[in-house]
Protein backbone atom coordinates (compact mmCIF):
# COMPACT_ATOMS: atom_id res chain seq x y z
CA UNK A 1 0.00 0.00 0.00
CA UNK A 2 0.94 3.65 0.08
CA UNK A 3 3.88 4.42 2.32
CA UNK A 4 6.08 7.40 3.13
CA UNK A 5 9.40 6.81 4.86
CA UNK A 6 11.13 9.70 6.61
CA UNK A 7 14.71 10.02 7.86
CA UNK A 8 16.23 10.80 10.24
CA UNK A 9 13.86 10.39 13.15
CA UNK A 10 15.93 12.81 15.21
CA UNK A 11 18.27 15.56 14.03
CA UNK A 12 20.39 17.85 16.16
CA UNK A 13 22.19 20.83 14.61
CA UNK A 14 24.03 23.90 15.82
CA UNK A 15 22.34 27.24 15.35
CA UNK A 16 23.26 28.64 11.94
CA UNK A 17 23.90 25.23 10.37
CA UNK A 18 21.69 23.62 7.75
CA UNK A 19 19.26 20.78 8.35
CA UNK A 20 18.10 18.25 5.77
CA UNK A 21 15.21 15.82 6.15
CA UNK A 22 14.61 13.16 3.53
CA UNK A 23 11.49 11.26 2.51
CA UNK A 24 10.71 8.46 0.12
CA UNK A 25 7.26 7.61 -1.18
CA UNK A 26 6.00 4.38 -2.66
CA UNK A 27 3.07 5.38 -4.87
CA UNK A 28 4.33 6.68 -8.21
CA UNK A 29 0.97 8.38 -8.72
CA UNK A 30 1.71 10.81 -5.88
CA UNK A 31 1.67 14.36 -7.17
CA UNK A 32 1.52 16.64 -4.15
CA UNK A 33 4.04 16.76 -1.31
CA UNK A 34 3.37 19.03 1.67
CA UNK A 35 5.63 19.53 4.68
CA UNK A 36 4.18 20.27 8.10
CA UNK A 37 5.83 21.62 11.24
CA UNK A 38 4.47 20.64 14.64
CA UNK A 39 5.53 22.69 17.65
CA UNK A 40 5.15 21.36 21.16
CA UNK A 41 1.53 21.20 22.24
CA UNK A 42 0.17 22.33 18.89
CA UNK A 43 -1.25 20.81 15.75
CA UNK A 44 0.84 20.51 12.58
CA UNK A 45 1.08 23.56 10.34
CA UNK A 46 1.89 23.62 6.63
CA UNK A 47 5.26 25.28 5.96
CA UNK A 48 5.86 24.49 2.30
CA UNK A 49 4.55 22.21 -0.41
CA UNK A 50 5.58 21.10 -3.87
CA UNK A 51 3.75 19.66 -6.84
CA UNK A 52 5.09 16.87 -9.00
CA UNK A 53 5.64 19.12 -12.01
CA UNK A 54 8.21 21.17 -10.06
CA UNK A 55 11.69 20.05 -9.05
CA UNK A 56 12.43 22.64 -6.38
CA UNK A 57 10.66 25.33 -4.41
CA UNK A 58 12.08 27.91 -2.00
CA UNK A 59 10.56 30.12 0.63
CA UNK A 60 13.12 32.20 2.49
CA UNK A 61 15.25 29.77 4.55
CA UNK A 62 13.21 26.73 3.58
CA UNK A 63 13.47 24.76 0.35
CA UNK A 64 12.03 21.49 -0.87
CA UNK A 65 13.40 19.33 -3.68
CA UNK A 66 11.66 16.52 -5.51
CA UNK A 67 13.16 13.67 -7.52
CA UNK A 68 10.24 11.90 -9.15
CA UNK A 69 12.39 9.21 -10.73
CA UNK A 70 13.81 8.14 -7.41
CA UNK A 71 10.58 8.95 -5.56
CA UNK A 72 12.52 11.10 -3.09
CA UNK A 73 11.79 14.51 -1.71
CA UNK A 74 13.70 16.54 0.85
CA UNK A 75 13.31 19.55 3.12
CA UNK A 76 16.26 21.88 3.51
CA UNK A 77 16.42 24.49 6.26
CA UNK A 78 19.34 26.92 6.09
CA UNK A 79 20.68 29.20 8.84
CA UNK A 80 18.74 27.29 11.46
CA UNK A 81 17.43 29.15 14.49
CA UNK A 82 16.26 27.87 17.89
CA UNK A 83 12.64 28.53 16.88
CA UNK A 84 13.05 25.98 14.09
CA UNK A 85 13.12 23.28 16.79
CA UNK A 86 10.00 21.18 16.23
CA UNK A 87 8.77 17.94 14.67
CA UNK A 88 8.62 18.02 10.88
CA UNK A 89 6.38 15.73 8.83
CA UNK A 90 6.59 15.04 5.14
CA UNK A 91 3.53 13.78 3.32
CA UNK A 92 2.42 12.56 -0.09
CA UNK A 93 -0.91 12.70 -1.84
CA UNK A 94 -1.95 10.96 -5.04
CA UNK A 95 -4.40 13.62 -6.03
CA UNK A 96 -7.12 11.85 -4.15
CA UNK A 97 -8.49 12.12 -0.71
CA UNK A 98 -5.78 10.56 1.42
CA UNK A 99 -2.62 12.26 2.53
CA UNK A 100 -0.03 9.80 3.82
CA UNK A 101 2.35 11.24 6.42
CA UNK A 102 5.86 10.18 7.29
CA UNK A 103 6.73 9.26 10.87
CA UNK A 104 8.23 12.67 11.60
CA UNK A 105 11.66 14.13 12.35
CA UNK A 106 12.35 15.78 15.66
CA UNK A 107 14.72 18.69 14.97
CA UNK A 108 16.75 20.23 17.78
CA UNK A 109 18.60 23.48 17.08
CA UNK A 110 21.23 24.18 19.73
CA UNK A 111 21.97 27.79 20.50
Partner 1 sequence: DSGVTQTPKHLITATGQRVTLRCSPRSGDLSVYWYQQSLDQGLQFLIQYYNGEERAKGNILERFSAQQFPDLHSELNLSSLELGDSALYFCASSATGTSSFNEQFFGPGTRLTVL
Contact residues toward partner 1 (CB under 8 A) are 6, 31-32, 34, 36, 41-46, 49, 51, 89, 93-104
**Closest approach of partner 1 to the CB of residue 16, in Å:** 28
In sign, the C-alpha dihedral spanning 80, 54, 7, 88 is positive
CB closer to partner 1 out of 45 and 67: 45
**Closest approach of partner 1 to the CB of residue 26, in Å:** 15
CB closer to partner 1 out of 40 and 111: 40
The angle at the Cα of 106, spanning 47 to 12, to the nearest 5 degrees, equals 110
Do the beta carbons of residue 20 and residue 76 sit within 8 Å?
yes
CB closer to partner 1 out of 14 and 97: 97
Residue 6 buriedness (CB in 10 A; 0-12 / 13-18 / 19+): buried
Amino acid sequence: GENVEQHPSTLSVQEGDSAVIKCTYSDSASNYFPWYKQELGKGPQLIIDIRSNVGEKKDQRIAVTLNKTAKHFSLHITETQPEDSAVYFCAANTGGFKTIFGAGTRLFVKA
